[in-house]
């Protein structure tokens, strides 16, 4: 019975380790978001925000200053950036791609593991958009 318990614990710890330390491949996650409409998805969210290169730079500043978030690929100069945000306790990675398309910023936030993010990406992306609007009002 102990061996079964130890085996189970090893599997659980190994699985959690994989989630936290799994490599994020830019060629897989740094993609065109294809946002044609605002959508709330089971595993993410798609948003469209009016904006130019300066708006993208402001949004980038907000995103990279968010907890446990960093750039994975792209740049503001390229007009296409992908970020990784990790959950606080388990380290689950979520990916958010922002792309400038004309006078619109297309934002696509999605999970990597599982079927549902329980609204985490929606809350995160909508919070960034709120912060962006608050910054614009101060100017």
Tell me the residue ranges of DSSP E strands in 1-139.
39-41, 44-50, 69-75, 80-86, 93-101, 104-111
pLDDT of residue 91: 86
| Closest C-alpha to 40, from 98, 110, 96 | 110
Q: What secondary structure letter does DSSP report for 113?
A: S
Asked whether 69 and 84 are in contact (CB, 8 A), the reply is: yes
pLDDT of residue 107: 98
CATH of residue 45's domain is 3.30.310.80
Specify if 14 maps to a domain: no
pLDDT of residue 83: 98
Checking if the pLDDT of 119 tops 90, the result is yes
Scan for tokens 């608050």, then name that residue.
Answer: 134
pLDDT of residue 89: 81
Helix/strand/coil (H, E, C) string of 10-60?
A: HHHHHHHHHHHHCCCCHHHHCCCCCCCCCEEECCEEEEEEECCHHHHHHHH
pLDDT digits (tens, 9 = 90+) for 62-103: 999 999 999 999 999 999 999 999 988 888 999 999 999 999
> Residue 68 is part of which domain span?
24-138
* pTM flag (> 0.85): yes
pLDDT of residue 8: 79
> Count of domains in the chain?
1
pLDDT of residue 18: 67
Specify if 16 maps to a domain: no
């Amino acid at each position: 019975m102990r061996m079964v318990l130890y085996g189970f614990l090893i599997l659980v710890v190994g699985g959690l380790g994989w989630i936290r330390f799994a490599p994020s491949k830019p060629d897989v996650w740094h993609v065109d978001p294809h946002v044609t409409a605002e959508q709330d998805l089971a595993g993410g969210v798609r948003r469209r925000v009016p904006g130019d290169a300066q708006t993208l730079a402001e949004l980038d500043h907000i995103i990279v200053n968010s907890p446990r978030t960093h750039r994975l690929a792209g740049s503001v100069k390229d007009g296409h950036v992908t970020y990784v945000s990790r959950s606080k306790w388990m380290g689950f990675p979520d990916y958010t791609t922002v792309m400038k398309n004309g006078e619109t910023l297309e934002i696509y936030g999605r999970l990597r593991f599982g079927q549902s993010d329980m609204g985490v990406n929606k809350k995160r992306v909508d919070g960034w958009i709120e912060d962006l609007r608050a910054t614009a009002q101060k100017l």
